[in-house]
Amino acid sequence: MSDIETFRRETRAWLLQNCPPEMCQPIRNDEDMYWGGRNARFQSEAQRLWFERMVERGWTVPGWPRVYGGGGLGGEEAAVLQQEMRTLGCRLPLYSFGIWMLGPVLLKYGSEVQRLEHLPRIARGEIRWCQGYSEPNAGSDLASLATRAELHDDHFIVNGQKIWTSYANLSDWIFCLVRTDSARKQAGISFVLFDMQTPGVSTRPTLLISGKSPFCETFFDNVKVPRENLVGELDGGWSIAKYLLAHEREMIGNIGNPAEAKTVGQVAVEAVGLDPQGRLLDPDLRSQIASFEVDEAAFAAWTEMTGDLARRREGHPAISSALKYYGAELNKRRWELMAASGGADALEWEGSRSNEGMIARTWLRTKGNSIEGGTSEVQLNVVAKHILGLPGA
C-alpha cells in the first residue's frame, strides 16, 4: 500500500473515532459554524470537542508548518484530509478569514516576527479577523481607496472609512489597505494590521435583505498603529492586496462545491416526495435538479484539477477569478432551486419548522456571492483578458 493510501486509511479511522456524530450533521444555521475570537462561545460540547481535537493535530490549518500551529501536511495529504472530511460529512472545525485570507499573505510576505505572533493564534481560533478593503468610493476600482495612514517615526495615524466590512463588529483584528502616498495610485498603498479595540476604531452594522447584518461600516479616527504592523514594504501593499484577493476568490469559489448542508435533492424529496419508481414527484423540478447536479459534479472535478495543478505550481495565475465566477453563480442557482423545492417552508421567515427561515434567508444572502470578493462582471473581465487573451478586454 502506498504512503498516501496508508495516510488516507489512518485519517479516515481517526476522523471516525474523533468527530462527534453531531459534527457530521448538515449545518442548520449560523451557530453551527464556529468562528473563534476573543468573545466566541461554543454552541455545544460536541462543537468544542471537535474544535479542540482538530487544533491539537494542527488540522484547522493542515497545510501550514507545525511551528505556526499547522499540521505540517504536504499538499497531497491535505487534499486527502479534505476529501475524507467531505465523504464523512465532517463540519469544518473553524471558519476564519485569518485562515483563508490573511494566513497565506503572512506566510508569503510577513516577517518571521509577524508570522510567529499571528499565525498560531489564527490556527487556534483565538483571534477573529476582518478585511478592510472596500470604501464608499473604492469597490471594483479598489486602488482608488482614500483611507490615509501618515507615518510618524514608529507609528502610523490612520483616518478614513471602510464599508461592507464583514463581521467587523465581531472581529478582534483587521487587515487593512491604507493610502501612504497620495501622489501615486496602486504604488501608494500599504497593508497594515491592527487591533479593533485600538482607540478611534468604531463600527456600524448594516442590515441586509436577509434580515441579518453580517457587515459594517468601519470608521478610523486618528487610530495609532505601530510601524511594525506594516506587512511588506511601505507603499508595497498592492501586490499583497492582489495576492490576498486570489485566495479570497478561491475561498468564495468553493461555495460552488457541495457544503456540509442538506443537498437540493434532499430538500426536494422532503418537500415534494417520491413517485412509485422512487423518483422526485415533480418532473420539471427533477430535470432542473439533475442538470444542476451534473454542473455541480463537473465543478467539483474542475476545482480538484485546479488544486492539483496549483500544488504542482502549474496553475494559471488568473484561475481564481474563473473559480470565483462559476462557484458564485452555481451557489446562487443552488439556492434558487432550494427555494423552489422547499415548499411552504421555503417561504417562512421565522419559526422552528423552517429553522428560522433558513432557506429564505440563505437564498437572499447568496445574491451577494456575485458581488463579494469582486463582482462577476469584473471576474469575467479578468478571464477574458488573462486566460482567453481576448482583444480589447
Ligand X SMILES: Cc1cc2nc3c(=O)[nH]c(=O)nc-3n(C[C@H](O)[C@H](O)[C@H](O)COP(=O)(O)OP(=O)(O)OC[C@H]3O[C@@H](n4cnc5c(N)ncnc54)[C@H](O)[C@@H]3O)c2cc1C
Q: Which residues bind ligand X (CB under 6 A)?
A: 130-134, 139-140, 164-166, 215, 368, 371-375, 377-378, 381
Q: Which residue has the cell 422532503?
A: 270
Q: State the number of CA atoms in the 13 A half-sphere of 125 facing the CB.
A: 24
Select 136 or 351, whichever has its Cβ closest to ligand X. 136
Tell me the closest approach of the beta carbon of residue 300 to ligand X, in angstroms: 23
Select 139 or 343, whichever has its Cβ closest to ligand X. 139
Closest residue to ligand X, based on beta-carbon distance:
139
CA torsion sign, 70 to 76 to 82 to 85?
Answer: negative
Tell me the closest approach of the beta carbon of residue 134 to ligand X, in angstroms: 4
Select 18 or 375, whichever has its Cβ closest to ligand X. 375
Select 69 or 373, whichever has its Cβ closest to ligand X. 373
Tell me the closest approach of the beta carbon of residue 309 to ligand X, in angstroms: 26
Integer Cα distance of 378 and 188 in angstroms: 23
* CA neighbor of 249 nearest in space, from 327, 146, 186, 308: 327
Cell numbers of 188, please? 501608494
Tell me the closest approach of the beta carbon of residue 291 to ligand X, in angstroms: 26
Cell numbers of 130, please? 476582518
Tell me the closest approach of the beta carbon of residue 251 to ligand X, in angstroms: 12
Rg of the chain (C-alpha set) = 22
Select 84 or 372, whichever has its Cβ closest to ligand X. 372
Select 246 or 378, whichever has its Cβ closest to ligand X. 378
Cell numbers of 309, please? 495543478
For residue 92, which amino acid is it?
A: L
Ranges of H-type helices in 312-368: 319-341, 358-365
349, 360, 99, 239 alpha-carbon torsion, rounded to 10° = -120
Distance of CA 239 to the CA centre of its chain: 20
Tell me the closest approach of the beta carbon of residue 366 to ligand X, in angstroms: 9
Integer Cα distance of 322 and 33 in angstroms: 27
Tell me the closest approach of the beta carbon of residue 318 to ligand X, in angstroms: 15
Select 47 or 369, whichever has its Cβ closest to ligand X. 369
